[in-house]
């Protein structure tokens, strides 16, 4: 179901003016709390460093200042930011592809086939899914350090590809939303077990594939701790970790960094926007889909 | 996501039993394809779930030469002068964050759900949810600006509270609040959306009956909606508690941005990081990671096994 439900049956009017105005006030205060930093950020990138501190926080700067900030950001360390964004895309898309190839069949198998240790694998999936992903980062580092993979792109892509939540979502979907008779009919029609999956189940599972892809992409793009630990060299940073380099080159936050390649505050603000742009775009275009996804599994009967 | 992992499992298992009871000529083929389909996932689960956890156990109970040392590593990190302050820091942050999360998320979900204008409810949920796009380092960076009175859009508010400079804002006493605010800003919207979905699932008959019995909006929220949200609130609490113990990126960036006014061993995860990368003591780092992992495992285990929390009313 979608949370954007059109039923008004369960809605109650908040009785009384005082009750209504208090609740309106609370909602508006939280709108301000959630929105002000974002709006401020959009204005900040159009200002010069001087204007940022003296002009009104919500005034527009100028196009020229925006271009100057842009040039400073992408000129930083000879184009490091472009490299970091490219790294982010590489790690995220690489992990996404492996995640989908691994999780969708696994969720299908857990839901619709029988094999030994199936239940053990399910419990493992649930337990690891509920563990914060950061809890395993240092142990994984210690393990990969032993086998000498530290610094390689694989050291972030492979751990990111292990995505029990995606398997869980797929499992829930296949065990609740696919009519078994349909699969049985396909078998009678002579489909092999593999064809039952590729020709019947998979096309029906398109929404869940999209959902797993979304969660995997957002989580991995925003992942900080894992690449921070695994990738010691600046060349390998994803943009999230690259932000720390920009931060330490910002004299306003790190006075010892004043130099030729220093970063001004509006440039740092622009870096913040650039670092989340792909995720933001996906968020904006998939709100409804997302809302239904976040409550998926929780709302089925 | 979410709901009754345990009960899902039960229904699926019951179904599985029914299926095998019916007995199928095609069962062997289905078993074979089952193995094939979970093979890669199992491999990843072993490599990045089981193996690192086991290796951390080995490291935590041995020294650099691989000799068994019993609990020496744990005693070493627990008696480290930085350990208990880090525990206190994380605990203070968790208390503030969880209280704020439960109160405000539930209140906002109820309020938005009570709205009659549909587009208004939809837009509000979207506005609350949007900051979720800025997770990790990006949101911390943005909040550095918001917390610095020289650039802050709410510098008036900061000055009103007597905070005239960035260094004053990030005094040790304020840090748990700051981290809680950042976490709330990025994370609360997702939970509001989930709670809203749960509220939509409460049967309309029940709400109708309450209204006929003369309950006003406040009473039906308190007596009907709130009790029915209980399992979701518990879920939010457990997940947030587990995630909160992992505090890392917020203090790490704040430490970097403040010339170490905020120490770089503020949280437990940072301390583990210091052990691994500053002191080259992987055994000590493994011991701290293991302590954190056991806490997370316990929370998740309680959650998976005590499915009663998630049975339908």
* pLDDT digits (tens), chain B, 313 positions: 333 333 344 344 444 444 443 444 456 778 888 899 999 999 999 999 999 999 999 999 999 888 899 899 999 999 999 999 999 999 999 999 999 999 999 999 999 998 888 888 888 988 898 898 888 899 999 999 999 998 899 988 999 998 888 888 998 899 999 999 999 999 898 889 888 888 888 888 888 888 888 888 888 888 888 888 888 888 888 888 888 999 999 999 999 988 878 999 999 999 999 999 999 999 999 999 999 999 888 887 777 766 544 443 3
CA distance B41 to B52: 16
- What pLDDT does residue B216 have? 82
Q: What is the CATH number of domain B83-264?
A: 1.10.3720.10
Q: Do A34 and B47 touch (CB under 8 A)?
A: no
The number of residues making up chain A comes to: 301
Q: Under 8 Å CB-to-CB from B22, ≥6 apart: which residues?
A: none
Query: Minimal Cα distance from A293: which residue of B?
Result: B1
Tokens of B180: 């809680």
CA distance B92 to B100: 12
Query: Region A253-266: what's the mean pLDDT?
Result: 82
DSSP alpha helix (H) spans, chain A: 17-44, 49-54, 63-75, 80-112, 118-130, 137-147, 154-161, 164-177, 180-188, 193-195, 202-204, 206-221, 225-230, 239-248, 265-285, 287-294
CA distance A73 to A81: 7
CA distance B54 to B50: 6
CB of A238 within 8 A of CB of A87? yes
Task: Kindly list the residues from chain A whose CB atom is less than 8 angstroms away from the CB atom of residue B246.
Answer: 132, 134-135, 225
The number of residues making up chain B comes to: 313
> Which of B237, B204, B197 lies closest to B1, judged by CA?
B197
Q: Give the distance from CA B197 to its chain's centroid.
A: 19
Q: Do A132 and B242 touch (CB under 8 A)?
A: yes
Contact map slice: A 60-99 vs B, CB within 8 A: none
CA distances from A242 to A29, A78, A273 (A): 34, 14, 13
CA distance B290 to B282: 12
Query: Region A198-227: what's the mean pLDDT?
Result: 90
The neighbour count for residue B19, using CB atoms within 10 Å, is: 16
Helix (H/G/I), strand (E/B), else coil: B79: coil
- What pLDDT does residue A207 have? 83
The neighbour count for residue B126, using CB atoms within 10 Å, is: 18
CA distances from A118 to A15, A171, A198, A215, B12 (A): 53, 12, 21, 25, 11
Superfamily of domain A78-301, CATH level 4: MetI-like (1.10.3720.10)
Judged by a CB distance cut-off of 8 A, whether residue A217 touches chain B is no
Q: Do A193 and B33 touch (CB under 8 A)?
A: yes
Q: Give the distance from CA B310 to its chain's centroid.
A: 18
- Name the range with the highest mean pLDDT among A14-23, A50-59, B42-51, B203-212: B42-51
ipTM of predicted complex: 0.84
Residue of A30, A103, A176 to mutate, interface with B, max B Cβ within 10 Å:
A30
In which band, very low, low, confident or very high, does the pLDDT at A4 lie, cut at 50, 70 and 90?
A: very low
Tokens of A82: 């472009």
Higher pLDDT, B261 or A243: A243
Helix (H/G/I), strand (E/B), else coil: A222: coil
Tokens of A164: 């029990």
Q: How many CB pairs under 8 A join A and B?
A: 372
Helix (H/G/I), strand (E/B), else coil: B62: strand
Judged by a CB distance cut-off of 8 A, whether residue A41 touches chain B is yes
Nearest to B256 among A4, A140, A247 (CB): A247
Q: Give the distance from CA B44 to its chain's centroid.
A: 23
What angle do the packed helices A287-294 and A206-221 form, to 10 degrees? 100
CA distance B184 to B179: 8
- What pLDDT does residue B94 have? 94
Task: Kindly list the residues from chain A whose CB atom is less than 8 angstroms away from the CB atom of residue B124.
Answer: 27, 31
pLDDT value at A113 more than 70: yes
Each domain of chain B, given as residue ranges in start order, spans 27-82+265-313, 83-264
Each domain of chain A, given as residue ranges in start order, spans 78-301
- What pLDDT does residue A175 have? 86
Q: Do B207 and A135 touch (CB under 8 A)?
A: no
- Per mean pLDDT, which range of A126-140, A242-256, B16-30, B216-230 is the poorest? B16-30
- What pLDDT does residue A292 have? 58
Nearest to A34 among B145, B185, B198 (CB): B185
CA distance B128 to A35: 8
Q: Do B44 and A162 touch (CB under 8 A)?
A: yes
Q: Give the distance from CA A204 to its chain's centroid.
A: 24
Query: Region A176-188: what's the mean pLDDT?
Result: 86
- Name the range with the highest mean pLDDT among A65-79, A116-130, B114-128: A65-79
Q: Do A121 and B29 touch (CB under 8 A)?
A: no
Nearest to A243 among B137, B216, B218 (CB): B137
Tokens of B176: 């748990």
Judged by a CB distance cut-off of 8 A, whether residue A14 touches chain B is yes
Nearest to A299 among B185, B201, B207 (CB): B201
């Amino acid at each position: 179901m979608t949370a954007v439900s059109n039923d008004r049956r369960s809605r109650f009017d908040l009785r009384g003016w005082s009750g209504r105005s208090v609740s309106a006030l609370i909602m508006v205060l939280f709108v301000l709390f959630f929105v002000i930093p974002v709006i401020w950020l959009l204005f900040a990138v159009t200002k010069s460093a001087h204007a940022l501190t003296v002009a009104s926080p919500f005034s527009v700067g100028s196009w020229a200042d925006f271009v100057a900030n842009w040039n400073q950001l992408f000129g930083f360390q000879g184009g490091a930011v472009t490299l970091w964004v490219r790294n982010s895309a590489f790690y995220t898309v690489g992990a996404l592809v492996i995640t989908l190839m691994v999780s969708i069949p696994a969720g299908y198998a857990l839901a619709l086939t029988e094999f030994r240790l199936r239940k053990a694998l399910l419990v493992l999936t649930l337990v690891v899914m509920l563990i914060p992903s950061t809890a395993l980062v240092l142990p994984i580092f210690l393990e990969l350090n032993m086998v000498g993979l530290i610094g390689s792109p694989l050291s972030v892509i492979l751990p990111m590809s292990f995505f029990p939540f995606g398997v869980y979502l797929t499992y829930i979907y296949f065990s609740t939303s696919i009519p078994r008779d349909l699969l049985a009919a396909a078998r009678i029609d002579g489909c092999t077990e593999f064809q039952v999956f590729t020709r019947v189940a998979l096309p029906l599972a398109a929404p869940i594939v999209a959902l797993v892809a979304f969660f995997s992409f957002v989580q991995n793009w925003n992942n900080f701790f894992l690449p921070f630990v695994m990738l010691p060299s600046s060349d390998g940073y994803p943009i999230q970790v690259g932000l720390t380099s920009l931060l330490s080159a910002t004299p306003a936050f790190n006075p010892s960094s004043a130099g030729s390649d220093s970063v001004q505050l509006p440039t740092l603000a622009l870096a913040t926007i650039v670092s989340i742009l792909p995720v933001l775009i996906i968020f904006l275009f998939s709100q409804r889909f997302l809302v239904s996804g976040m409550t998926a599994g929780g709302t089925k009967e | 996501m979410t709901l009754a992992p345990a009960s899902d499992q039960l229904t699926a298992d019951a179904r599985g039993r029914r299926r095998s009871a019916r007995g199928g000529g095609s069962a062997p083929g289905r078993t074979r394809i089952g193995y094939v389909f979970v093979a890669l996932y199992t491999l990843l689960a072993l490599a990045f779930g089981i193996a690192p956890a086991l290796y951390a156990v080995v490291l935590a109970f041995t020294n650099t030469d691989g000799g068994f040392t019993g609990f020496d590593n744990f005693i070493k990190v627990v008696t480290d002068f930085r350990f208990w302050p880090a525990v206190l820091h994380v605990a203070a942050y968790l208390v503030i964050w969880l209280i704020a999360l439960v109160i405000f998320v539930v209140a906002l979900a109820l309020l938005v759900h009570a709205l009659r204008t549909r587009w208004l409810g939809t837009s509000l949920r979207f506005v609350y949810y949007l900051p979720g796009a800025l997770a990790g380092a990006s949101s911390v960076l943005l909040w550095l600006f918001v917390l610095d009175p020289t650039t802050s859009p709410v510098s008036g508010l900061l000055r009103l509270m007597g905070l005239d400079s960035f260094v004053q804002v990030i005094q040790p006493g304020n840090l748990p609040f700051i981290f809680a605010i950042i976490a709330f800003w990025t994370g609360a919207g997702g939970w509001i959306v989930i709670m809203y979905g749960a509220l939509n699932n409460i049967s309309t008959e029940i709400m109708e009956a309450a209204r006929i019995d003369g309950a006003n909006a406040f009473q039906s929220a308190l007596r009907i909606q709130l009790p029915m949200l209980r399992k979701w609130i518990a879920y939010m609490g457990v997940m947030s508690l587990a995630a909160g113990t992992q505090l890392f990126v917020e203090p790490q960036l704040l430490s970097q941005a403040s010339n170490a006014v905020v120490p770089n061993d503020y949280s437990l995860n940072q301390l583990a990081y210091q052990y691994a990368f500053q002191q080259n003591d992987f055994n000590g780092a493994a011991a701290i990671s293991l302590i954190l992992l056991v806490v997370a495992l316990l929370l998740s285990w309680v959650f998976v096994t005590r499915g009663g929390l998630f049975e339908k009313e």
